[in-house]
Amino acid sequence: MSGIKENITTLKKEIPANVKLVAVSKTRSVGDIMEAYNAGQRCFGENRVQEILNKKDLLPSDIEWHLIGHLQTNKVKAVVPFISVIQSVDTYKLLKVIDSESQKVNRVVDCLLQIHIAAEETKFGFSVKEVTEVLESEEFKILKNVRICGLMGMATFTDNPVQVNKEFNYLVSTFKSLKLKIFKDDPFFKEISMGMSGDYKIAINSGSTIVRIGSLIFGERIKSEH
């Protein structure tokens, strides 16, 4: 008994119906993903392109795949034909490549802009200043095959709930100010993806609309793998 089904059932009770659950399946087997699928889960998040490509053809085609990890521009072409959401857009250059590759396959791809909210240096993402500059630029306005649906952020990996709460509130206030300044009449700009296994309750209380949860569903990951 792996308990994946039970874990999903328990989580679903704790997550409000208007918050989307992305089951983070990086490093997990196709069998584990299938177990979550059979428990009703349809949306999965992966952080490596090659790993999604390896798994997706072995799994049902109605799975909605979210890319949540850093994406290199040379791998964009491989994901745009099928990806539901690219949550980890962290440069204008990447956005531009997603746009041109999406155009080639006649798609408009949903994207979230990743904002750097953690104290740690290593996490990817735009600063608020950078993202504002990009969104206000003419170079951004000409992109037609990307749809900016909101923001994504990762809080500092810490036990201190005060700090995590502060970082999530910063993401929410950034979202609100961009909504007013740039996306006022855009119904698609509505998502705030924040909250993982350790901090999803804080995230939901702060106004998260998407939580990305791995370990609480599938069990602890081996530390050396991502």
Decide whether 143 or 210 has the Cβ nearer to ligand PLP.
210
Q: Are 134 and 114 in contact (CB under 8 A)?
A: no
- In angstroms, the CA 122 to CA 124 distance is 6
One DSSP character per residue, 108-170 reads: -EEEEEEE--SS-SS---B-HHHHHHHHHSHHHHT--SEEEEEEEE---S-S-HHHHHHHHHH
Tell me: does residue 173 bind ligand PLP (CB under 6 A): no
Give the residue at shortest CB distance from ligand PLP.
Answer: 214
User: Do residues 15 and 204 make contact, with C-beta atoms less than 8 angstroms apart?
Assistant: yes
CA distance 17 to 22: 13
Could you tell me whether strands 109-115 and 146-153 are parallel, antiparallel, or unpaired per DSSP bridges? parallel
| Binder of ligand PLP out of 69, 125, 150, 153 (CB under 6 A) | 69
With respect to ligand PLP, which residue has the nearer C-beta, 69 or 150?
69
* Centroid of chain to Cα 75: 17
- Is 24 a binding residue for ligand PLP by CB under 6 A? The answer is yes
- Smallest separation, CB 52 to ligand PLP (Å): 13
- In the complex, the smallest distance separating the C-beta of residue 95 from ligand PLP, rounded to whole angstroms, is 18
Q: Which of 47, 102, 208, 209 binds ligand PLP (CB under 6 A)?
A: 47
Of the candidates 37, 105, 43, the one whose C-alpha atom is nearest the C-alpha of residue 76 is: 105
**Shortest Å, Cβ 157 to ligand PLP:** 9
Assess 89 for contact with ligand PLP (CB under 6 A): no
Q: Write down the least CB distance from residue 147 to ligand PLP, Å.
A: 20
Q: Which of 8, 21, 33, 154 binds ligand PLP (CB under 6 A)?
A: 154
Q: Would you count residue 214 as binding ligand PLP (CB under 6 A)?
A: yes
Q: Does 209 bind ligand PLP (CB under 6 A)?
A: no
Size, binding site for ligand PLP by CB under 6 A? 13
> 47 or 91, CB closer to ligand PLP?
47
* Structure-block tokens of residue 182: 């740039």
Task: Rank residues 56 and 123 by Cβ distance to ligand PLP and give the closer one.
Answer: 123
Q: Rounded to the nearest whole angstrom, what is the least distance from the CB of residue 68 to ligand PLP in the complex?
A: 4
Cα-based distances in Å from 62 to 40, 59, 91, 198:
11, 9, 29, 28
Q: Collapsing DSSP states into helix, strand and coil, what is residue 56? A: helix
How far apart are alpha carbons 88 and 71 in whole angstroms?
7
**Residues forming the site for ligand PLP (CB under 6 A):** 24, 26, 47, 68-69, 154, 196-198, 212-215
